[in-house]
Amino acid sequence: MNKPSIHLETIILGLIPVLIACLTFGYYFIQTHFEESDIQLQMRAETTAKMLAPATEYGVVSGNTEFLSDLLEEALKGNDLISITIVDIEDNTVISRINHAVVVVDPISYKHPIFLKGINISDTVDDIFDTNNDEQLGWIFVRMSGFENAAKKSNVIARIVIFLIAVITISLALLISLSRRLSNPIVKMTKAIEKISNNKYDIEVGRYSNRDLDYLANGISSMARSIGSLITNQQREIEAATNELTDSINKIEIQNRELETERLKAVKANEVKGEFLANMSHELRTPLNGITGFCDVLANTQLSFEQQEAMAAIQVSSRTLMQIINDILDFSKIDAGMLDIDQQTIDINECIEEVMVLLSPYAHNKSINLYYSNTDISSRFIRSDRLRIKQILTNLVNNAIKFTENGYVKVNIVNNKNSNNLLIEVVDTGIGLSYDFQRKMFNEFTQEDCSITRNYGGTGLGLAVSKKLIDLLGGEIGVNSSPGHGTRFWFTLPKGVVVDADNKNLDANIYFDREVLFLHDKVNGDDVLIAPIEERGACVVVRSIDSFYTEDPTGFDLIVVRSSSTEIERLDLAQYISEFLAHIPVLIITDNPDFIDFDNRLDLSNVTLRKEYVTLAAGLTLISRLFDKDFVEPSTHNEVATTQLERSDLRILVVDDNQINRKLLTSLLQKRTKSIDEATDGNQAVELCQNNSYDIIFMDIHMPGISGIETTEKIKNDNIINSETTIIGLTADTLPETEQLCREAGITDMLLKPINEEMLISTLNSCLNSTDLVGADTVTAIDNSLDSIYDNEQAKKKTGGNEKLAQELVAMLIDEIDEHENVLSEAYASNRLDNLRVASHKLNGSASYCSMPRLEKAASELEQAVVDGQPELIKQTYYCVLERIEEIKSNRNRLFSL
């Protein structure tokens, strides 16, 4: 858009006030003249009526219309009168005359009364013209045209318009002249500035009679000369700087080439570091695999007391060495940026309980109370890395136990609903930390003093690794402590997209109208079992164990005692229960596995004693059993027993270049199947696979010659017999790249060395519960086997051996299976992913409670696919869930008959 010139702007700005003044003056003059003309016209009509009124008096009184007609016609001549009308006092028209020759324009009317005048003899003029006593005879109406008045108005308007045009023309001429005097110098100055912008500095703008313009012109000329001089100087400086810059660039190019060389060396060194980590992991874990594996094998044989002690020492030492190796490798991987985080929906309670079960024997050996608290059920589920959280918790809790001689170690979960982070605390009553050490304690290889290493051991890497892991998880870690007053470690975790548990169909109000008394030590006042029991409808009363004799414990449906063995013995609870509480179920949970059972001579059939760490799930199962009045003493062996797998029809191939590893795997597998072949390298494995059909192949990844990944590719791509066989990778390499390569090659699952029996059986169970095994006959057998649909042994464990409760849970699921299917189908058909996620999560929980692993796995995979937002995977897992539901429906009668 073109902008107006100064010349035009000056004319417009000067002309605007002239126009405003002219228009204002013209409007005022015209308005004034129009008002005066209208008044004069009105006065003419009034004067005519007043003059005719006395003249018509005689005619009106005498009724002489001829006289009145002549009078009115004479009055109409030569005037703008349109008509004259005379009416009597009763408004009857006496006479009316109209002048048809008059042009009617803006007519006006006026009326005047007609009086009968009498003769007054008076001394004053006012009395002579007093009309108060006159008699009114009627009215005279005069109607007058404004034609002549309108003509006068038009004439006035024309004259004023001509005058205004003349004034505006003269003003415009003056403005044009003035504008040229102002704009012409400015235009010349503008052109001079354009020359300056085009690097032409030898200019003279000129001189002007106007002082201000002359001063501005001189300033522009002076500025041009100054800029020219400055530019010349700058050009000289630029040339000098350019020469220096050229030299610098040449030097930088040389440095860049050197840096690139160093960068390539660093990349190569990082690759070598990664390879070194993988090799070190393999070389260190491989012999440890043999040590720990055969220790587990020997531990299950008949050993003397001295041999058991020696075996226990070897196992502790090997685990300690493995922990040190793990810390060093994890620290190196984090430092090299090679550690990936596996985000998934996890139950934080389960993570903590697994750590508690692992470390409770260590805590007991030091007579330390170990427990945790999470009273907010809504804070159970978060989105994070389960393995890394357990690693962090294990490190912190292990340290807390290590540096605590008496008292307790407690894990608290604090959920601030206004925050996106979950706070986890590890509190102990140990030796505490100095303020100076707290500032540097998260640095690697750092301990408070040399005596710590001598007295307690350790490398000083655990906290450094924990901090780096928490940083990767998006949280923070800190510590509060003072010497001699214990320590509080805390860390935060982002909650992420939380998937809430929804198992109300199985849990809600199952303890309704039940009253439970909790007796506890002082430190156990916030027992983790209390909130879940209340959530299930029970009324819970919490008391100190010291009040056992002072307050009446009767009147409750269940009494739960959580206390140390010394307190139980001190208070002689066994005798009191035998005498006064024989009719009430009593659950006693103590932390001493060596606690001697109560006196067999006492009647304690109503007492259930647990002498190890009891998880939340196990505790609720025990309470459910006791509410059903099933008081059979539960087994005191560890509840996390390995599920024994026995499939004599399985044919397994073990491929490993290490003879010890092959021997260990063969020893562990011979308990479950008799058909096991061995291969010492990849070539031998390929040869065996060409002539034999295997159900499962255990493949070592790092082998000389052909690696496990190359061997797998050959078996999958070139071997018709075993192209669909399940292959489980064996490796000590924890790098994510290695796992990715294994998955791409066709390896189904991975086992990380050192391998123990529990890991091996868990992986085998996972494979046997999937459809990855080779051969149609095998798949059919699995699909049609009731054991693959319903895990009876797992159901017994979850219900504490209460088969009746297990059957009731199965019956409830079977009754609701059609509803689950309808909800899933409706959500999938309408593409409501939120509803589909909730429905699959609910089905996952129900299947887990009822110990139906295939349905649980399918529902869990569907839920995860919805959370990850993968449409194709959602479709596949959805139809897989429908197949699992159909399995249950087709085996409905068989499941009912369990």
Order of strands, edge to edge, in the sheet holding 651-655? 675-679, 651-655, 696-700, 726-731, 749-752
| 516 CB-near residues (< 8 Å, 6+ apart) | 533, 538, 539, 540, 541, 556, 557, 558, 559, 560, 623
| 148 CB-near residues (< 8 Å, 6+ apart) | 80
Q: Please tell me the predicted confidence (pLDDT) of residue 641.
A: 35
Q: Please tell me the predicted confidence (pLDDT) of residue 777.
A: 35
Q: Please tell me the predicted confidence (pLDDT) of residue 636.
A: 34
Element (H, E) at 280: helix 211-299
How many Å apart are CA 800 and CA 622, to the nearest integer? Answer: 6
Q: Please tell me the predicted confidence (pLDDT) of residue 371.
A: 78
For the chain, residues with pLDDT lower than 50 are: 119-122, 125, 128-129, 453-454, 499-506, 523-525, 601, 629-646, 770-784
Query: Which residue ranges form the domains of the chain, and what is each CATH number?
Result: 1-117+142-189 (no CATH), 340-494 (3.30.565.10), 515-627 (3.40.50.2300), 648-769 (3.40.50.2300), 797-896 (1.20.120.160)
Q: What's CA 534's distance to the chain center, in Å?
A: 31
Torsion-angle region of 405 (φ positive above 0: left; ψ -120 to 50: alpha; else: beta): alpha
Residue corresponding to tokens 């020759």: 101
Element (H, E) at 113: strand 108-116
Q: What secondary structure does DSSP assign to 333-370, as a single string?
A: HHHTT------EEEEHHHHHHHHHHHHHHHHHHTTEEE
Q: What's CA 198's distance to the chain center, in Å?
A: 57
The answer to whether 147 and 108 have CB atoms below 8 angstroms apart is no
First to last CA, the chain: 90
Q: Please tell me the predicted confidence (pLDDT) of residue 769.
A: 58
How many Å apart are CA 410 and CA 404, to the nearest integer? Answer: 12
The secondary structure of residue 557, as a DSSP letter, is S
Q: Please tell me the predicted confidence (pLDDT) of residue 765.
A: 74
How many Å apart are CA 607 and CA 581, to the nearest integer? Answer: 10
Omega of the bond leading into 754 within 30 degrees of 0 (cis)? yes
Q: Please tell me the predicted confidence (pLDDT) of residue 504.
A: 40
The answer to whether 459 and 450 have CB atoms below 8 angstroms apart is no
